[in-house]
A = this chain, B = another copy of it.
Amino acid sequence: MKNKKLTIIAHGGAGGINYPARRKSGLVKAVHAGYDILKQGGSSLDAVTKATTILEDTTVFNAGTGSYLNLLGMVEMDASIMTSELKFGAVAAITEVKNPIKVARLVMERTDHLLLCGEGANKFARLMGFDSYNPETREKRRLWQRRRKRLKNRYFPKLEELAGIYGTIGVVAIDKNGLISAANSTGGMNMNLPGRVGDTPIIGAGIYANKNGAVTATGHGEEIMRNLLCFRAVKLMARYPASLAGKKVIEYATRQGCRCGLIGINKTGAVLCVNNTKAMSWCYIKDGRLSSFP
């Protein structure tokens, strides 16, 4: 084994922590499943794919099944995956699959493209054999109905009016060969305009990886995108220890008025985990030991 520092970290969004027990159990289950793959000599790509799939299937998170509904009451999902070898694949505004992250991975592995969106992403998923699936839950439909009523007949809500609009899940892992991979998935912003693409599937914005490390972000997607936050974080990882890189990137984000959280792992297996929102749920296993919040 070249790299003994097997590490995996996941977050469940930085938009506060409702249902803390459900969040924690989902995160713990996801990182355990990913860590098992790493321990058995599997790749970080497989570990983050597996962990992300579990988080997508856990309805408390805003990703996959249980995604927020957009302004028209539809679920549209974004997801991406990237490795320290600069491989990248993503989907945006995909509507009819169970696990957007699996489609993103196939964009990376089976096409000459990096990003597919909308109906084209759905068509690609069908072509790759994914069944049509409705990711809507009754819980998120009721939330949508309450919010829609509060908006009355105004066309588009201001961000400030919506609590808990941030929700993404993300996972980063390093394997025995030192390959670092990041993955993320989201149902987007609560009540966003149809077709809205946030930071999640945008390289450099909500995800980035190179030989120095990998990072994924959650929070106010538009500001994460405008500030290319994950690209900056990985750049800082090349110069500073992971914790200091985290401190610097979150200070930068705060100065820019960008409310967010980031998780990452550098090439030594050290963890970055920061946020400037009220709370971010996270969980990691490093040196065989699990840490989590809450």
Contact = CB atoms under 8 A, between A and B. Distances in A.
A76 B115 CA distance: 14
Given A92-B92, A193-B124, A196-B113, A86 B119 contact: no
A124 B194 CA distance: 8
A121 interface: yes
Contacts of A61: none
Given A88-B226, A115-B197, A156-B112, A120 B76 contact: yes
A118 interface: yes
A158 B110 CA distance: 11
Given A92-B92, A231-B204, A156 B111 contact: yes
B195 A118 contact: yes
A247 interface: no
A117 B118 contact: yes
A155 B124 CA distance: 11
A116 interface: yes
Nearest to A88: B226
A121 to B, nearest CB: 5
A112 B158 contact: yes
A60 interface: no
A17 interface: no
A93 interface: yes
B123 A194 contact: yes
A229 to B, nearest CB: 11
A108 B228 CA distance: 17
A88 B222 CA distance: 10
Interface string A223-266: 00110100100000000000000000000000000000000000
B222 A114 contact: yes
Given A111-B156, A124-B195, A204-B204, A117 B88 contact: no
A92 B202 CA distance: 12
Of A116, A196, A205, A222, most buried by chain B (CB within 10 Å of CB) is A196
B76 A196 contact: no
A14 interface: no
Given A118-B195, A120-B193, A194-B123, A203 B205 contact: yes
18 contacts: A92-B117, A93-B117, A111-B156, A111-B193, A112-B156, A112-B159, A114-B226, A115-B197, A115-B198, A115-B202, A116-B196, A119-B195, A123-B195, A127-B155, A203-B225, A204-B204, A204-B228, A228-B228
Interface of A: 76, 86, 88, 92-93, 111-124, 127, 155-156, 158-159, 192-198, 202-205, 222, 225-226, 228, 231
Given A116-B194, A118-B120, 5 more contacts: A111-B156, A116-B193, A118-B119, A120-B194, A204-B228
A-B pairs, top 4 by smallest CB distance, nearest first, are A120-B195, A118-B118, A120-B194, A117-B117
